[in-house]
Structure formats: C-alpha cells, structure tokens
Amino acid sequence: MTFRCKNWILYKNKIILENGSKRTIYFFSKYRPNKGESCDLPKGFIVKINERTGLPFLRKDKFVKDQYLSPYQ
C-alpha cells in the first residue's frame, strides 16, 4: 500500500551507514524519487505537518508503541 498525505507520498529507502549497519529511512515526496519505493505508514509512527513549510514528516508516537506491549512482558 501507499501512504499519502495531501499531495505527498511516503517512500522508504534502505541505506548502509559508515559502520556497515543497515537502516531504513522514510521520506515524503511529490514526485517519484530515483531511489526508494512507496510504502505504508510504519507502525509506531504518526504524521506531523511542519507549520512553516507545510512539509509532512514522521514522528514516533509513544502511545502507539505502548499499545503493542503485552501485559505479560
């Protein structure tokens, strides 16, 4: 699935850091980027809008994270 926020589409791209570890980055774009693929909103994140620029961005949601914890852990 593809997550949309107004005219922006959420993309993800896997990168390799200098220490060799892998990380997935998420970003919004109005146009198809050279690298990356469209994706759904990842669990534990919410979308916020930058008031000055109008650009959407992801923020970890502490409440969503707590909902997935088992009471038996």
Domain limits of the chain?
4-67
CA neighbor of 12 nearest in space, from 21, 48, 22: 22
Q: What is the pLDDT of residues 30-72, one digit of tens each?
A: 999 999 999 999 999 999 999 999 999 999 987 765 544 434 3
State the pLDDT at residue 70.
39
State the pLDDT at residue 69.
43
pLDDT band at 1 (very low <50, low <70, confident <90, very high): confident
Say if CB 28 and CB 11 are below 8 A apart.
Answer: yes
Q: Which two tokens stand for residue 21?
A: 């570890």
User: Which ranges constitute the DSSP H helices of 1-73?
Assistant: 62-67
Q: How far apart are CA 13 and CA 26, in angstroms?
A: 7
State the pLDDT at residue 61.
84
State the pLDDT at residue 10.
97
Say if CB 52 and CB 23 are below 8 A apart.
Answer: no
Is the pLDDT confidence value at 27 over 70?
yes
Q: Which two tokens stand for residue 16?
A: 């390799």
